[in-house]
Amino acid sequence: MSRVALPQYLENAAVAAELQSVILGLAEVSVDISKSLAKGALAGVLGAAGAENVQGEDQKKLDVIANDMIKDALAALPAVRGLASEEEAEVVPCHTAGSYLVTFDPLDGSSNIDINSMVGTIFSVLPHRGEAPVTEQDFLQPGRHQQAAGYVLYGPSVMLVLSTGNGVAMFTLDQDNGTYLLTESEVVIPADAKEFSINMSNQRHWAAPMQAYIADLISGKDGPRAKDFNMRWVAAMVADVHRILCRGGLFTYPWDSRKPDQAGKLRLMYEANPMGFLVEQAGGEIWTPEGKILDIQPEHIHQRVPVILGAANEVALCVDYHQR
């Protein structure tokens, strides 16, 4: 059975040529990143880079390598007006005639690298309007403005998951020739959750409504939910969201009382918004306890948010615990 390759899929979907070039550029560099990851210790690229990023997090060597590879790939594309990365303190202006802005997390879950667990690349494509040189302000658009969003999951197989606003498609990398082939079109999140995804070790630091919501899940069929749930936590958002796109559930990284002035751990512009775009396109929801994440007007490029995402009815119930 001949499968549709990514370039043909984008043509069939009548995606604008400039947007195609951005998506294909990201897909191409992800193949190179996957090769670096596959070499592991043999490439001498595991471990810490010996520096901190703008988030105050210890950078892994592969964080820096992947970030530089993606920056170079995007900077070579005339369609890219500017880029912003989790690993870059400031936005990076690119081509003055470009129509798109790209935000990305080059290696999400990078703390998993040294234990050979799953990591991913997350990307978000926003429109750029106006003539002046690009500034951070141009990037500060609600997630609903995204023209495309997706991720690459470097797992047992390498998968690219993408939406350009007409549903979600999944592509699997053909390692023999470096092409992404369509393996799932029209992805829909199953309605009812059987699994939840949260870092349980933080339980004592959550707000009371989240403690109550999770406690009711854990009480299983003898509790108010009258059914048993399972838990998964990969510690790489890309992997946890991929599981939810494939088989449903709820993922949350809530506010934590240890950093009361920090809204959450996850970043709005290059984690929550792109993942939220995909989840909504697959029939799911993504909220903070106060409202829909894709409607948030960003205030700065590294802004953080609490995230509740997944099956629509399960997200609604979790938000209801907070709004009671």
- Complete DSSP assignment for 217-254: HHTGGGSTT-S--EE---S-HHHHHHHHHHH--EEEE-
8 Å CB contact between 161 and 151? yes
Binding to ligand AFP by residue 111, rule CB under 6 A?
yes
The 10 Å Cβ neighbour count of residue 223 is 14
Phi, psi at 147, each rounded to 5°? -95, -25
The rounded radius of gyration (Å) of the Cα atoms in the chain is 19
Among 20, 30, 85, 110, binds ligand AFP (CB under 6 A): 110
Binding to ligand AFP by residue 36, rule CB under 6 A?
no
Binding string, residues 193-232; x marks residues near ligand AFP by CB under 6 A: ------x---------------------------------
Query: Which of 129, 124, 113 shows the shortest CA–CA distance to 86?
Result: 124
* Position 147, amino acid: Q
Among 108-116, 137-145, 279-287, 296-304, the segment contacting ligand AFP (CB under 6 A): 108-116
Judged by CB under 6 A, how many residues of this single chain contact ligand AFP?
A: 12
Task: Provide the terminal-to-terminal Cα distance of the chain, rounded to the nearest Å.
Answer: 52
Q: Min. distance of Cβ 19 from ligand AFP in angstroms? A: 26
110 annotated among ligand-binding-site residues: yes
271 annotated among ligand-binding-site residues: yes
108 annotated among ligand-binding-site residues: yes
107 annotated among ligand-binding-site residues: yes
Among 10-18, 109-117, 171-179, 283-291, the segment contacting ligand AFP (CB under 6 A): 109-117
d(CA 9, CA 6): 5
Binding to ligand AFP by residue 306, rule CB under 6 A?
no
Among 5-13, 102-110, 185-193, 214-222, the segment contacting ligand AFP (CB under 6 A): 102-110
Residues 132-191 that bind ligand AFP (CB under 6 A): none
Task: Say what angle helices 61-75 and 17-39 make with each other, to 10 degrees.
Answer: 150
Query: Which of 263, 293, 264, 290 shows the shortest CA–CA distance to 279?
Result: 293
Among 31, 92, 181, 235, binds ligand AFP (CB under 6 A): 235
d(CA 22, CA 85): 15
18 annotated among ligand-binding-site residues: no
d(CA 150, CA 276): 10
The 10 Å Cβ neighbour count of residue 55 is 14
Q: Min. distance of Cβ 306 from ligand AFP in angstroms? A: 12
47 annotated among ligand-binding-site residues: no
Query: Which residues are annotated as part of the binding site for Mg(2+)?
Result: 86, 105, 107-108, 271
Residues that bind ligand AFP (CB under 6 A): 57, 108-111, 199, 235-237, 253, 265-266
Query: Which residues are annotated as part of the binding site for substrate?
Result: 108-111, 199, 265
Query: Which residues are annotated as part of the binding site?
Result: 86, 105, 107-111, 199, 265, 271
